[in-house]
Amino acid sequence: MAKKKFSKDWVMQHINDPYVKMAQQKGYRARAAFKLTEILDAEKLMQSGDIVVDLGSAPGSWSQVARERLTGAGGVVDGRIVALDMLPMEPIAGVEFIQGDFREDAVLEQLKNLLGDAQVDLVISDMAPNLSGVSSADSARIQHVCDLALDFACQHLKPEGALIVKAFHGSGFSQIVESFKRHFQRVVERKPKASRGKSSETFLVARRLKP
C-alpha cells in the first residue's frame, strides 16, 4: 500500500513540477536540461567553437542544451558535440552519437576517429549508476562512475578544459572530491535549482588540469 501511495505521490509531483512543464514547452527530452543550463551560466562554460563530449547522454537533454549553446546565426553548430551512451538515443541534429560503453577500447577508438587529434574543451556527465539502497554498495558504484568520467577527462581534455559530473552526497563523496582535486586546479560543488530539494545529487565542476 505504501509503495502504491509513493508511486502516486511521485507521479503527482512529476506532473506538477514546473521544470517538467518548462522542458515540455521548450522541447527538451528531460528536466535535467535546466540543471546543465544553470551550471553553464554560473561557470561561464561552453563557448562557440568548443568540442564537447556528453558521457551517458541518453535521452539527450544535455546534448540538446549543448547544441543550443553552440549553434550560430546560420543554424549550424560552431564546434563539435559527441555523445556516448550504452542506451540508444534519438538523433539530434549536429550531435554525433556513439552507442557503446566508453570503457571499451573499440568505443574509445570510434571517439578517437571522430575527433582526430583534437582535444576536448568540456566533458559533461549526467551518468548515475543503478542504486540498490545499500549505502556501502551504492557509494562504491557512484564513486566508480565518477572515476570513469574523471579518467576519461584527464585523457581527453585540453589543459584549460573543464569537467561537469553528477555525484551524490553521502558515504564516499569527500573521497570523490579529493580525487578531483588531485587532477584539477579548481573544483566546486553546484546544486542547481532544478535539482529536487530532497535529492542528494550535486554536481562537481572541475576546471584546468594540473600539469
Q: Is 101 annotated as a binding residue?
A: yes
In this prediction, residue 20 has a pLDDT band, given cuts at 50, 70 and 90, of: confident
Does 162 have pLDDT greater than 70? yes
pLDDT reported for residue 182? 98
C-alpha cell read off for 97? 552519437
* Residue in 166, 181, 191, 198 annotated catalytic: 166
Taking the whole predicted model, whether its pTM rises above 0.85 is answered as yes
**Gap between the Cα atoms of 146 and 106, Å rounded:** 21
CB 97 within 8 A of CB 103: no
CB 148 within 8 A of CB 166: no
Pick the residue with more confidence: 119 or 9?
119
Q: Is 117 annotated as a binding residue?
A: no
- The per-residue DSSP string of the chain comes to -HHHHHHHHHHHHHHH-HHHHHHHHHT-SSTHHHHHHHHHHHHT---TT-EEEEET-TT-HHHHHHHHHHB-TTS-BSSEEEEEESS-----TT-EEEES-TTSHHHHHHHHHHHTTPPEEEEEE---PPP-S-HHHHHHHHHHHHHHHHHHHHHHEEEEEEEEEEEESSTTHHHHHHHHHHHEEEEEEE--TTS-TT--EEEEEEEEE--
34-77: pLDDT as tens digits: 999 999 999 999 999 999 999 999 999 999 999 999 998 788 89
pLDDT reported for residue 3? 45
Residue showing cell 575527433: 115
CB 92 within 8 A of CB 64: yes
117-151: pLDDT as tens digits: 899 999 999 988 777 777 778 788 889 999 999 99
The domain ranges of the chain are: 30-209
Percent of the chain with pLDDT over 70: 92
CB 164 within 8 A of CB 36: yes
Q: Is 105 annotated as a binding residue?
A: no
What is the overall mean pLDDT for the chain? Answer: 88
Does 2 have pLDDT greater than 60? no
C-alpha cell read off for 139? 557509494
**Gap between the Cα atoms of 42 and 7, Å rounded:** 34
Q: For 30-209, give the CATH class.
A: alpha beta
pLDDT reported for residue 15? 62
pLDDT reported for residue 11? 57
In this prediction, residue 170 has a pLDDT band, given cuts at 50, 70 and 90, of: confident
Does 179 have pLDDT greater than 60? yes
Q: In the predicted model, what is the mean pLDDT of residues 26-36? A: 89
Cα 27 from chain centroid (whole Å): 19
Q: Is 62 annotated as a binding residue?
A: yes
In this prediction, residue 7 has a pLDDT band, given cuts at 50, 70 and 90, of: low
Does 9 have pLDDT greater than 70? no
pLDDT reported for residue 171? 84
Q: Is 60 annotated as a binding residue?
A: yes
**Gap between the Cα atoms of 211 and 131, Å rounded:** 35
Known catalytic residue: 166? yes
pLDDT reported for residue 68? 95
Pick the residue with more confidence: 15 or 105?
105
Q: In the predicted model, what is the mean pLDDT of residues 16-22? A: 75
